[in-house]
Chain A
Amino acid sequence: MLRINCPVCGTRDETEFTYGGDATVVRPAMDETRAQLWLDYVFNRDNPRGPHTEYWHHVQGCRQWLVMERNTLTHEVGECHLAKEAC
C-alpha cells in the first residue's frame, strides 16, 4: 500500500486518494484549436518505467490535487506538493 505525504494533511494511506495519471501533460490553453495538442493532452502518455510524476487527488481529505514523484518499477514514493503550487 502506498503512503502519500499530503502537504496539507500529512502522510495518509493510498485509499484516501484517487489517482490522476501523468502530471507532466499540459492542458492546452482554452482558445487552442489545434486538435493534435488536445489529442496529446487527453490520450498520449510517456508511460515511463521508473520515475513518474503523477497526480493524486486527496478526495477523502483536503480535496487537493497533488503532484507526486513515484517510481513505477519499485513503487518508491518521492516528493509531493500541491498541484496548484508551481514547483
Chain B
Amino acid sequence: MAGQRLKQGGRIDRRKTLNVRFDGRKLQAHPGDTLASALIASGEMIVARGFKYHRARGVYAAGSEDPNALVHLRTGARHEPNARATTTQVFDGLESFAQNSWPDVRFDASAGIGLLSPFLSAGFYYKTFIGPFKGTRYWMFCESFIRKAAGMGRAVKINDPDNYDKLNAFCDLLVVGGGASGLSAALTAGRAGADVILVDQDFEPGGSLLSQPVGEASDDWLEDVLLELKSLTNVRILTRTTAFGAYDEDVYGLIENVSDHLLAPENDQPRQRYWLVRSKQAVLATGAIERPLVFANNDLPGVMLAGAVQTYVNRFGVLPGQRIVLSSNNNSAAQVALHLARAGADVTLCDARPTLPAELSDPLLAAGVTLLTGKLVIKAIGRRKVNAALIVPVDAAGRATGAAQKVTCDVIGLSGGWSPVVHLWSQRFKKPVFDDNSGSFIPAELGRETVKCAGRMVAAQTLADRIASGVTAAQAALADLSLDAVDTSVPAAPALPFDTGWADDILPVWSVTDAKGKTLGKAFVDIQHDVKLTDIDQAHREGYVSVEHLKRYTTSGMATDQGKTSNIIALARMAELSGKTIPQTGTTTFRPPYTPVAIGALVGHEHGLHFTATRYSPIHDWHLAQGAKMTEAGAWMRPWYYPDGSETLSEAYRREAAHVRQHVGIVDVSTLGKIAVQGPDAAEFLNRVYINGWKSLKSGRLRYGVMLREDGYVMDDGATACLGENDYFMSTTTANAARVLAFAEHLLQTAWKDMKVHVTTVTDQWAAFAVAGPKARDLLQSVVSGADLSREAMPNNHFVNAVINGIPVRIHRMSYSGELAYEVYVASGYAQQVWNALHAAGTPFNLKPYGTEAMGALRIEKGHVAGPEIEGRTTLNDLGLNGFASSKKPFVGSVLRGREVLTEASRPTLVGLELGSAQGAKSGSLIYAKGVAAKGHGEGWVSSTTWSPALGKYIALALVQSGKSRTGEEVQVVNHLENQTLSAKIVSSHFYDPAGERQNA
C-alpha cells in the first residue's frame, strides 16, 4: 500500500483543497502541506531518480536534509531546478515535475545503467578514458556524453522576473532555530528587553514540537510561548527564513522566503529577502538531523528516516504506509513506534540492542507494536518500492549473527541516532568534537564569547533539557550584553510520553552487513550521489583514507544536501576500516551556505544597469538629447561621438576632429579628477608627488605634471593650477582620480604626517568643458565678462576668473588638442547654464560638440600620451616625458625608477607611425623590423591609432624598442589575429604642429 491521508490529525486544513500537480497529475494537497507530504498522501512513491544509476527514489526525510525529493518547480521564467519537495510549502497552482529522468520518472529509460554499476565504482573516471592516443580528444569525446548524463535539474535561460531585497539588520541577539530551545532563548532575552531576531527555516515555528501529535501537551506550551513572543515588540520572528552562514565579526546571512509559498510575488513584494544581520550575540539552536542505517537497497522508495515518518503522520496527517518496520539503534524510535501504532499502522520495531528497558517495551507491546530486539533490517525487498524487510539478528558492529526473517511492509523507518546541526558554528570557528555519549559531533567549546549553543545542537536530549539549555544560553548572552534576565521562568516543560532523546544506551551501529561485513546488495551511503558502502571500502583499499580524499574520490557528501545524513556514515565506515576511532578519522569542514541559496537573492537589486554605480556628467542629459553615442569610461558615461544623421563612429569622429582644427569645438571633460590641495605645505607636497618642480609656480598659473608610482613607473599626469598662496587645484585623468587621491591621503597620513596639507576631492563639485579651435578665443571673449583673454593678457598655462551669464567660472588656457584652447570650470550645479550660454554664443563661430573619439584623434595627432600608453609598465623615458623630471629634488619613485631594467637603452619608447596604406593599424598590433619573421613578442606594439584628418593619413602611436633612434625606418605592423600586415614609417610622435604655433596663437 502506498501512503494515504489520515481521516484526522495533523496541522493541515482539510477544509481547503489546493490545486497542486506533479508531472501533471493532481495531488491531494491542503494548506499546511509540503510538496513532499502531498506527494506521499497522493501515493506518489517514485518522485526522483538517482544521479548515476537512475534508481527510483522516494521521499526520504521531512526537512532540508532530504537527499532524494528534488524536483523542478513552476514553469516558464519562474522555473526552478533542484527544489526540495520536503521544504516546499504548497500553494494553489503549484506545478512540480520530476527531473533527471526520461520519459517519466516512473519508467526511466536510463534505469538500465544500474547494471553497469560494478564498472562505475569509486574513481573509475580516473582509470579509464585515458586512451591509447595522445592529446585530449578521446577523453573529450567520452566527456561529452558524461556531461549530458550528469547534472540534476535543468535550468532555463530566461531572465528572472522577480525582485530580491537586501536588508541590513542589527540586533542584540540572533536566535537561529525556532524549536523548543530557540523559542525559550528568544523569550528569555525578549523579556529582558533585548532586541531579538528569531529565525526559523520552516513556515511554522515550533521545530520538532510540530511533529508531536496534535493536542499533545507541547501544543499548549508552544502556543503560550509564541503568544508572548509575538506580543513583544522587541522580538522579530522570521519564519521561512534560513540562516545560511555565520561569518566573521558576528555577521550572519539569512534568506527569507517572502513569496515562494505563493504562485507569484504579490503587492510588489520581493521573491526573497537577504538579511545581513550584525548581531552582538547569537544563540544557535539549530537542532539535530536523524541518521539512517545503511543496508542493501536502502534507497528504495518507502525507506525513510523514522522521525520523518513521525512528522508525516503527526504534522501532515499522512500515513506513508500501513505496515511499517522501524530499524533503530537508540531510544528515539520508540516514540515514533507508539505514534504510528496509535495512528493505526501495523508497526514492527527492530532494535539493535539485545533488550529494551521495560518502561519502553511495555507500553509499546501494549500499543500492539511488534518488538524485535537485537535485530536490524539488512535488506529492503521490492522492485520499485518496499514490499518487505529482511531482518537479521546483529552483533554490536551491525553484522548478521543468524538467520534472516522477512517481514512484509510498505515503509522502513530508520534511526541510527542523530547528528546535531553544527554547521553554522563550524563555519565560523572550527571543526566540532566527537561526543561519545551521544555518538555525535558537537561544538568544541561552549559559551564562546558571542555565540551560545542550545538544544539538540549540543545534544540536549529531553524537552525539559532543551528548554533549559535555551534559557541558559540566553542568560549567558544577556550577561554579555549587560542586560539582566528579568524573568527566566519560561513556561514549564510539558511531559511527553517517551521523551527519551537518542543518547542513552545508543548502540553505535552504522551499517548492517552479513557476517563477513558485506552488504546484501547495493547499500548507499550518499543516496543522492549514489555512493555505496563498497565505494568507501574501495577508496580505503586504494589509500584515499583521509576524510577529504574520501569525499573527493567517492563524491560522498558533495551533493545538494552536502551530506547532511551521509557524512557521518562514510566517516564511521572509514574509521572502522582503518581501525581508528571516528574523531581520529576526522570530519569534513562545514562550508556555507547551510542550504542552497538563490544567486539572485544575494545579488539583490545590483543587476542590470544597477550592477555597479554609474557616474554622469552634470550635462549628461544634454548629450543624450543631442543623440550622442555614449561610452563607458570606468564608472563614468561619456559622449563617444555625436552622429550627424546616420553617420558611423568613423565618419563622426573625423568630422568632429576636423571641425575643431578648422573652427571651434567643445568637449565635456567634467569626468577629469579634481583635487583641492590646500595648506602651507601644498607646494612642497606637489613637489614631492610630481616629478617636476612646483615651488616657482605663481598664482594664476598652471603647470602640467607627471606622477610616478612608488616603484618608479608612470602613474598619472594632469595640470595643476595655483589658485593662490597655499591653494592648488590638481587635475588627474578620469581613470586614476580615485587612486591619486587615495595615494595622496596615504602619503600625508602615514609618511608625511607633519606636512600641513589637506587634499579633498572636488571632482563632483566642478564641471569642465574644453573649448578648442582657432575660434575659441573669439567665442569665449564674446560671452565672458570680467576677463581679458587676449594672447598678451592670457598666454598658455594661465587661468583667469570670469563670469558667463552672471555665473562665475574659471578659465584655464591649456591645450590637449593642440589648438588654441581653454578649459572652462564651473560649479556643477550651473554647468548646464554655462554650457548652454557657450552654445548660444557659439552659433556665429560654428561651435560643435565633439566626443571622446575625436578628442583621442586630436591628442594622437599631437603625440600626447593617455591611458593606452600610461598602462602601468611604462617609464618616463619610455613615454618621452623624461624632460619634465627634476634632477634637483627627490620625488615619489625617483630612486626606484633608476633600477637596471627601467633604464635599459633598448626599452620600447614612444614613437609615431605613419601608415602608408589605405587601412589604419589596429591598436594592439605588434611591430617587427622589415624582413624579420613576425614571431615572438615583437619589437614593440601599437598603442593608439587614428585617421588624422589634419594629415590626411592613418597614424598611430607605438612603443618600439630603441624607438627614438629608428626615426625614418620602415617597419612591419602585424595584427596576427585579424590577418593584417601593414608597412609603417617611424616618425616623431608629434605629428601635427610640432612647434606648437596653433596652441600658442
Contact = CB atoms under 8 A, between A and B. Distances in A.
Interface in A1-60: 1-3, 18, 20, 23, 27, 30-35, 38-39, 41-43, 55, 57, 59
Contacts of B753: 84, 86
A83 B749 contact: yes
A1 B248 contact: yes
Contacts of B749: 64-65, 82-84
Nearest to B252: A1
A21 to B, nearest CB: 10
Contact of B249 (A1, A34, A57): A1
B746 A3 contact: no
Given A27-B750, A63-B745, 6 more contacts: A20-B746, A57-B746, A59-B742, A84-B750, A84-B753, A86-B753
Given A27-B750, A65-B749, A38 B896 contact: yes
Contact of B898 (A35, A65, A77, A82): A35
A41 B276 CA distance: 38
A1 B890 CA distance: 41
Interface of A: 1-3, 18, 20, 23, 27, 30-35, 38-39, 41-43, 55, 57, 59, 63-65, 75, 77, 82-84, 86
Contacts of B745: 57, 63-65
Contacts of B898: 35
The size bracket of the interface on B is 20 to 34
Q: Shortest 9 CB-CB distances between A and B: which pairs?
A: A27-B751, A3-B249, A65-B749, A75-B248, A84-B749, A1-B251, A83-B749, A83-B750, A38-B895
A86 B754 CA distance: 11
A2 B746 contact: no
A39 B267 CA distance: 61
B899 interface: yes
Given A57-B742, A59-B742, A31 B890 contact: yes
A32 B746 contact: no
A59 B225 CA distance: 46
A78 B898 CA distance: 40
B625 to A, nearest CB: 32
A77 B898 CA distance: 39
Contact of B895 (A18, A20, A32, A84): A32
Interface string B833-849: 00000000000000000
Nearest to B742: A57
Nearest to B687: A30
A65 B895 contact: no
B715 to A, nearest CB: 13
A2 B249 contact: yes
Interface in B240-257: 247-251
Contacts of B890: 30-33
B896 A39 contact: yes
Given A27-B750, A33-B895, A55-B750, A1 B247 contact: yes
B346 interface: no
Interface in B148-187: none
B710 interface: yes
A43 B747 CA distance: 17
Nearest to B250: A3
Contacts of B522: none
Contacts of B248: 1-2, 75
Interface string B877-911: 00000000000001000011011000000000000
A27 B247 CA distance: 35
B278 interface: yes
State the main secondary structure of chain B at its contact with A: helix
Contacts of B738: 59
Nearest to B688: A30
A30 B895 CA distance: 10
Interface in B720-779: 738, 742, 745-751, 753
Nearest to A34: B895
A42 B710 contact: yes
Given A1-B247, A2-B248, A18 B742 contact: yes
Contacts of B746: 20, 55, 57, 65
B711 interface: yes
Nearest to A27: B751
Given A1-B249, A57-B742, A42 B750 contact: no
Nearest to A77: B249
15 contacts: A3-B278, A20-B746, A27-B747, A27-B750, A32-B895, A35-B895, A35-B896, A35-B898, A42-B710, A42-B896, A43-B711, A57-B742, A63-B745, A75-B249, A84-B748
A86 B710 CA distance: 23
B251 A23 contact: no
A20 B751 CA distance: 13
B390 to A, nearest CB: 51
Contacts of B251: 1, 3
Contacts of B247: 1
A84 B753 CA distance: 6
B710 A23 contact: no
Contacts of A43: 711
Contacts of A32: 890, 895
B611 to A, nearest CB: 16
Nearest to A82: B749
A65 B750 contact: yes
Nearest to A31: B890
A28 to B, nearest CB: 8
Contacts of A18: 742
The residue in B711, B745, B750, B890 that gathers the most chain A C-beta atoms within 10 A of its C-beta is B750
Contacts of A1: 247-249, 251, 276
B297 to A, nearest CB: 46
A49 B249 CA distance: 19
B499 to A, nearest CB: 39
> Which has the most chain B C-beta neighbours within 10 Å: A18, A42, A43, A64?
A42
Q: Which of B249, B738, B898 has most chain A Cβ within 10 Å?
A: B249
Contacts of B742: 18, 57, 59
Nearest to A33: B895
Contacts of A38: 710, 895-896
A43 B895 CA distance: 14
Contacts of A64: 745, 749
Nearest to A14: B249
A43 B899 CA distance: 14
A20 to B, nearest CB: 7
A42 B711 contact: yes
A2 B525 CA distance: 38
B102 to A, nearest CB: 44
Nearest to B741: A63
Nearest to A18: B742
A76 to B, nearest CB: 8
A23 B896 contact: no
Nearest to B761: A63
Nearest to B276: A1
Interface string B264-285: 0000000000001010000000
Nearest to B449: A76
A68 B661 CA distance: 55
Interface string B697-726: 000000000000011000000000000000
Nearest to A30: B890
Nearest to A36: B895
A76 B679 CA distance: 38
Residue of A32, A63, A75 ringed by the most chain B CB atoms within 10 A: A63
A19 to B, nearest CB: 11
Contacts of A27: 747, 750-751
Contacts of A55: 746, 750
Nearest to A57: B742
Contact of B710 (A33, A34, A41): A41
Nearest to A84: B749
A33 B897 CA distance: 11
A7 B896 CA distance: 35
A20 B742 CA distance: 10
A70 to B, nearest CB: 10
A31 B889 CA distance: 8
A23 B544 CA distance: 44
